[in-house]
Every structure is written in C-alpha cells, then in structure tokens.
Amino acid sequence: MNVTIDSHALIKLLLLLAHADEQYHANEEKFIRDVVKKNNVDDKDYTKILNEVTAENRDYKLSCLEILKKISNEENRKTALKALSDLAAADYIIHEDEILLLQLIADEWGMYKKRLSE
C-alpha cells in the first residue's frame, strides 16, 4: 500500500519552520513553492495555509506538535524531515529556532541518527 504524505500538513510544517526565525527568506519561499507545485497544491490552498501560519497567536511549538500527529507513516515522516532539513538550509543559515523545531520533531518521532563516534 502506497501512502502519500498529507500535503497540507507538510506545507504547514515547512511554513512554521520558515517563520520560526520571524523572517521568510526568498530562498525559503522558493523552496516551499517548489514543494507546493510538486504536491499539486492549489495556490489558494497555499495562501490559506500561509495565512493560518502567519495569523496564529500560539507558540510555534504547539502548532508544530499538533501537525506532527497528522503524519504517522514512517516513510512520510522521513520525507517530511528531509524536506524540513533542506528548508532549514535554504537561506544558508541554520537559525536557533529552526534547530529547536527540528529537535522537537526528532523527539516526537523518535528519529535520531547514532553518533559517529559510537
């Protein structure tokens, strides 16, 4: 059975990460727009998701935790984590807030790589 990732959840996670440092860099926007296009997400849907993220008064951490529950399949989690990691590097700077959100995701999903020194 081939399970596809929830595009809405993926895009919302990407937008949360992109806005974690309170700056939406042009490279981040281009990256997310490419994901939107690849996942056949309508422009209206993208704008709606973007507005949800920018209008939220909640902590990004709480919003992120809520969305993480929607991605339960391991392959989808790997796809999402790869996209999130690529996005974090899209502006050539890994911000502390981005690292904290990636750490939160790794904690929630139990996705860690063993240390090289072990």
CB 14, CB 89: distance < 8 Å? no
pTM score, two decimals? 0.82
Residue type at position 13: L
Write the CB contacts of 115 (distance below 8 Å, at least 6 apart in sequence). none
Residues 20-67 have pLDDT tens digits of 877 788 899 999 999 999 989 999 999 999 998 888 776 778 888 888
Half-sphere exposure of 6 (CA within 13 A, CB side): 14
CB 17, CB 98: distance < 8 Å? yes
58 or 88, greater pLDDT: 88
Half-sphere exposure of 17 (CA within 13 A, CB side): 34
Cα gap 27→60, rounded to integer Å: 21
Cα gap 90→13, rounded to integer Å: 15
Q: What local confidence, expressed as pLDDT, does residue 4 receive?
A: 55
22 or 100, greater pLDDT: 100
| Residue 9, helix vs strand vs coil | helix
CB 105, CB 68: distance < 8 Å? yes
Cα gap 4→52, rounded to integer Å: 23
